[in-house]
Structure 1
Amino acid sequence: MNNPLIIGFALVAFDVVLWRCAVPQNEVARLLVRLCIYAGFSALLFSTGLSPFSQAPYPDSMPQHVLGQILEVIWWLMGARLLSLALDTLLLPKRWRRQRLFQDVFGALVFLAAVVAALGFVLELPVRGLVATSGALAIVLGLAIQSTLSDVFAGIVINTTEPYHIGDWVSIDGVEGKVVEMNWRATHLLTSQGNIMIVPNAVAAKAKITNNNRPPTLHGVTVTLEITPEARPSVVLAALERALAGVRAVIAEPAPYAIVKRTTVMSVQYEATAYVDDMGKKLAVTNELYDLCYRQLQAAGIELRPPGAPYAPSAPVQQTDARLSLLRRVEIFNALTTDELKQLAPLLTRREYDRNEKVMSPEVVPDHLTIVDSGVLSVVAEDASGPVEVTRLGPGDALGEMGLLAGMPARVTISALTRSTVYQLKKDDLTPLLKDKPDVARLMCQMLSRRQDTLDKLGTPTPVASSEQSVFQWLLDGMRKLHDLTF
């Protein structure tokens, strides 16, 4: 057991076991243990004449000489490995370690230097000639793999300047996705279609990069619309501003805005821009904003123009047709036929509300149905923590159905966020229709019962008479009593 060769190989084997088994679990502690083993290994070699800076002794025993040479070469390679690990564990920032570019490049350089040193000191090979030969070979290889080298150096620039990190949602050279990996060759993006797109670092270094995660709490949402040129721009912009005000997820600063982008012979292009504080909200807000823009423009009598469609002046809309179109957008009237809606359209009365004016108060039983024609209304309910905005209403949305159909109070406060126009239908005007169409009454109660879940969750449950009675049956009984129905 006093043979230094046996002890040296035992230390090397012990180090390999620690490396493969990852013992101890803590990375820094494991590195310190391996450094202690390397220090003991170095002390053993230098104290027994196995200096890594010269050939191994034992000239009379070829097996021992070869084993000594192997131990000296292992000393160089083990030192290179521990040096790269120490840099990786103790000095590099965590995000650089995840990207693995610097540690791979530095590790390759250190191992190359260790191999050259082992060849020169241990094996006593002519390193100068080897270096000269390897230099010529490096030139040939560099020309052969210049595109790969370009990716490597571009990766160094990207990792140094840090235009994006792993986890950021970016757009590189027209490719948009989430950064899932950054290495010495390329950046890997997970696209919205669930595919991995690999962008070479050389391409990323030259391309325009949009990082949607910077700043982290500010993300823009923009929708582009083409409008008929006969529409007055101030009217269009006012409608788009009302649409922007109707999205609850939009933050107040920076303020949302609408602008005229450009004009053509056939249309005028407008942009509506808003900001959200979470990247995950962009998709839902974009879809909601498109829908609200359509509804507000339709309420203002403005038509959207398909791109490339020839210009043709639109026919003026009759007042009765406008009211009929408004009734068709109300959910509880989906069960009515066109003739039945035509009977209700002339009965609608118009009313306007200024900004911040109260439209409906809680605990007040409305005797009419209110349908939003233009503008934005805010619906606020009370819960245990105080007032909570439940939703915002825009063109085509209705309020007061519970009072109109079943004589129930509103249970919410509704006020105008912008100057708004509404149409109202009185209870007495709806009673004859409900008496003639019992099936319509039942369908209305079914739709209305499905809309109570949100308010119930906020702590203002529907006051059903008994636990066994369903909300639908309770509403139907209330409708029969309120409108004197006999079915």
Structure 2
Amino acid sequence: MPTQIVSRLPLALIVSFLAASALLLSEDLFARPFSFVTGIIFEAVRRGETALLLGIATLLVARFVRRDLIHGLLEQRAGTALPHLIGDTASLVVLVAGAAVIMTGVYGWDLGAVVAAGGLSLAIVGLALKDVILAVFNGAAVNVENAFTVGDRVRIGDVDGVVVQSTWRSTTILTKARRLVTIPNVALGTASITNFDRPDKSEQRVLEICLDYDVTAESAERILLAGVIGASGVALVDAPRVHAIRLDRDGVLYAIRYVIANHDNGLSSDHAVIKSILAHLRDAGIVVAYPKQEVVNAERRIRVADRIVDRRVLVQQCGMFRGLAADVQAEIADVLIELKVQAGASLIAAGAVRPSLFIVGEGLMKRTRVRPDRPGFIEERYVATQAFGRRAFLSGLPHPAPVAAVTQSLVFELTRDDFAKVLLSHPEIKASLAANMARSPTRDITHATEVSALETRTERPVAFYLGLLDSLTSAKADRAPTNQTQ
């Protein structure tokens, strides 16, 4: 029913305008009889007819401006709904102008006196309703400037939440605690407004962590970057950054900055990143700096502040060499070749003949290979203490897939010849090595990556790896007499 009334309103105004025009044009039809019957002066009746005609015309123009021009043509060109305050203000201006024309043109009133009397009245009303008027104008300013719309996540002063309603008088926000907070528009004039949804929903997150002074800045940067990139379920927009920002009493304070695609996932992203960073620090044997006055009695792994300094600990923590005698691990550590790989740089090309085992000291490496079950690729990631290239290392075959650095990484290379010398000197370690390789998967995957279901396969028996180790030492022993003869 209300919709029908609104739709009939223009027709009623038009019919009224035509009727008033007819009465004004034919004075004998209404003005003279009405003046004769009522005793009202004929000129007064004619002025009333003119005022009625101009009033109806003003209503028609005001409706046209508000509904057809502001909320019709302009909204179509803008492609979005305009605030009702704009249309209401425009129609009010038309009505005021029409009233001024009627008072001055029809009744001959002095416009200056009318303005003076109206100004005095408005001043009295304004003093009584100053807060309401200020709220209305602040609401109008917010709508015109389009600082936020319903559905945007904003922070107004200390209130953070989603805008659910915006009126002339107030703005209502639904906070993260599921509470409705109504902010008077009076406060919007001086409040700082932050819109988290513009220009998009991306948001920079900052985490701070304090590490001991014995951890070098280069090592911290590699490990922390690998932790951010290796976090599961985090949609990063830009490459993360790590900066040392302050020297504290307990250690160096690092700021980790990364940008996520949607600010609504801020807490879950922080959780995943912190979880991944702690795992990478634990793999490296590094703990967060504690106050030096505090005594912490906790069982922990051997600390490695810098893989360049302590290679023996890296060999001890590598699964392939775990459980070997300390002197054997020391010999292996002494023949490791240090490699620094920049982020994005390739370490091994597909099909390259390089019979070496590579152990990640710091950073994050990846290998991309073809899926065996369906079209596509699998990305395998390697973090600190993990080794790759075992097949080429033991058999001398080419590497099946390329290996590159995701972050700046520190990698140690153990060549086949150097390892064969260690085996010739310590043949008793073959059984332990074969058992370690039979227990561990060909691909060392940890918390930093997700293990695909197709990777779960039965490992080869210990005898298979013993045969490979025997052939490796036999080939080395056969070459030794030849070299001596030459």
Q: Answer whether TM exceeds 0.5 for this pair.
A: yes
CA offsets 1:234-264 (integer angstroms, 9 cap, x no match) = 5434433444555685455xx6432232344
Find the partner of 1:176 among 160, 163, 185.
160
1:262-301 equivalences under 5 Å are 262-276=246-260, 285-301=269-285
Contact between 1:220 and 1:274, CA under 8 Å: does it hold in 2?
A: yes
Q: Which residue of 2 aligns with 1:378?
A: 366
**RMSD across aligned positions (CA):** 6.2
In structure 2, the partner of 1:26 is none
- Give, in angstroms, the shift of residue 377 of structure 1: 1.4
Q: Contact 1:373/1:420 (CA < 8 Å) preserved in 2?
A: yes
Tell me the SS of whatever aligns to 1:49. helix
Return the letter of the residue paired with 2:451: R
Partner of 2:405: 416
> What residue identity is the alignment partner of 2:365?
L
Q: Following the alignment from structure 1 to structure 2, what is the Cα–Cα distance between the partners of residues 50 and 305?
A: 95
User: For the Cα contact (< 8 Å) 1:374–1:421, is it kept in 2?
Assistant: yes
Match 2:85 to one of 79, 86, 101: 101
SS in 1 for 2:288: coil
Alpha carbons of 1:378 and 1:91: their partners in 2 closer, same or farther (altered >3 Å)? same
Answering whether residue 69 of structure 2 is matched by residue 80 of structure 1, we say no
Taking the aligned partners of 1:321 and 1:416, their CA distance within structure 2 comes to 23
- What letter is aligned with 1:89? G
Select between 347-356 and 201-210 the one with higher mean Cα deviation.
347-356
- For 2:151 and 2:390, how far apart are their aligned partners in 1? 46
Structure-to-structure mapping, 1:396-411, within 5 angstroms: none
Distance apart, 1:199 and its partner CA? 4.0
Match of 1:5? none
CA contact (8 A) 2:251 2:289 kept: yes
Residue 145 of structure 1: how far off its partner (Å): 3.6
Q: Are 1:46 and 2:24 an aligned pair? A: no
TM-score for the superposition, normalised by structure 1: 0.57
Residues in 2 aligned to 1:118 and 1:401: alpha-carbon distance in whole angstroms: 97
Aligned length: 405
Match of 2:287 in 1: 303
- How far apart, in 1, do the equivalents of 2:240 and 2:32 lie? 77
Q: Which one has a bigger Cα radius of gyration?
A: 2
Q: Distance in 2 between matches of 1:388 and 1:55?
A: 93
Q: 1:317 aligns with which of 286, 303, 308?
A: 303
Cα distance between partner residues in 1 of 2:173 and 2:316: 46
Aligned CA distance change for structure 1 residues 394 and 151 (closer, same or farther; 3 Å): farther
CA-CA distance at 1:376 after TM superposition: 0.8
Q: Is the 8 A contact 1:374 1:394 kept in 2?
A: yes
User: Matched residues in 2 for 1:177 and 1:427: separation?
Assistant: 63
**C-alpha contact (below 8 Å) 1:371/1:423 kept by paired residues:** yes
Partner Cα separation in structure 1 for residue 32 and residue 101 of structure 2: 15
Cα distance, 1:235–1:431 mapped onto 2, change above 3 Å: closer
- Deviates most, 273-282 or 148-157: 273-282
Of 261-270 and 70-79, more deviation after overlay is shown by 70-79
Q: Secondary structure at the match of 2:278?
A: helix
| 1:5-62 C-alpha deviation (Å, 9 max, x unpaired) | xxxxxxxx9x962636xxxxxxxxxxxx9767744542232123399xx999846499
Distance 1:416 1:264, change over 3 A: closer
User: 2: CA distance between counterparts of 1:377 and 1:288?
Assistant: 20
Deviation at 1:75, TM superposition (A): 6.3
Report the counterpart of residue 6 of structure 2 in structure 1.
19
State the shift of 1:99 in Å.
3.8
Distance in 2 separating the partners of 1:320 and 1:233: 18
Distance (whole Å) between structure 2 residues aligned to residue 345 and residue 202 of structure 1: 77
User: Does the 8 Å CA contact 1:244/1:289 hold for their aligned counterparts?
Assistant: yes
Q: 1:157 to 1:61 in 2, by over 3 A?
A: same
Unaligned residue ranges in structure 1 (runs of 5+): 1-12, 21-32, 331-340, 404-408, 454-461, 463-470
Find the counterpart in structure 2 of residue 452 from structure 1. 452
Amino acid at match of 2:368: V
- In structure 2, relative to structure 1, the CA distance for the partners of 1:320 and 1:169 (3 Å cut) is same
Paired position in structure 2 for 1:90: 73
Deviation at 1:375, TM superposition (A): 0.8
Q: How does 1:149-298 map to 2 (within 5 A)?
A: 149-216=133-200, 219-228=203-212, 231-243=215-227, 246=230, 249-251=235-237, 256-276=240-260, 285-298=269-282
Q: Is the 8 A contact 1:361 1:413 kept in 2?
A: yes
State how far apart, in whole Å, the 1-side matches of 2:31 and 2:250 are: 87
Conserved in 1, the CA contact under 8 Å of 2:153 and 2:195? yes
Q: Does structure 2 retain, via aligned residues, the 8 Å contact 1:242–1:375? A: yes
- Deviation, structure 1 residue 198: 4.0
1:203: Cα distance to partner? Answer: 3.4
Overall identity of the aligned pairs, in %:
18
Where 2:24 maps in the other structure, the secondary structure is coil
Q: Is the 8 A contact 1:357 1:416 kept in 2?
A: yes
Hey, what does 2:307 align to over in structure 1?
none
CA deviation after TM superposition for structure 1 residue 396, in Å = 7.2
CA deviation map 1:90-118 (0-9, x unaligned)? 23575873543323444455566678888
Letter in 2 for 1:377: M
Please tell me whether the aligned partners of residues 154 and 162 of structure 2 are also in contact (alpha carbons under 8 angstroms).
Answer: yes
Change (3 A) 1:259 1:432: closer
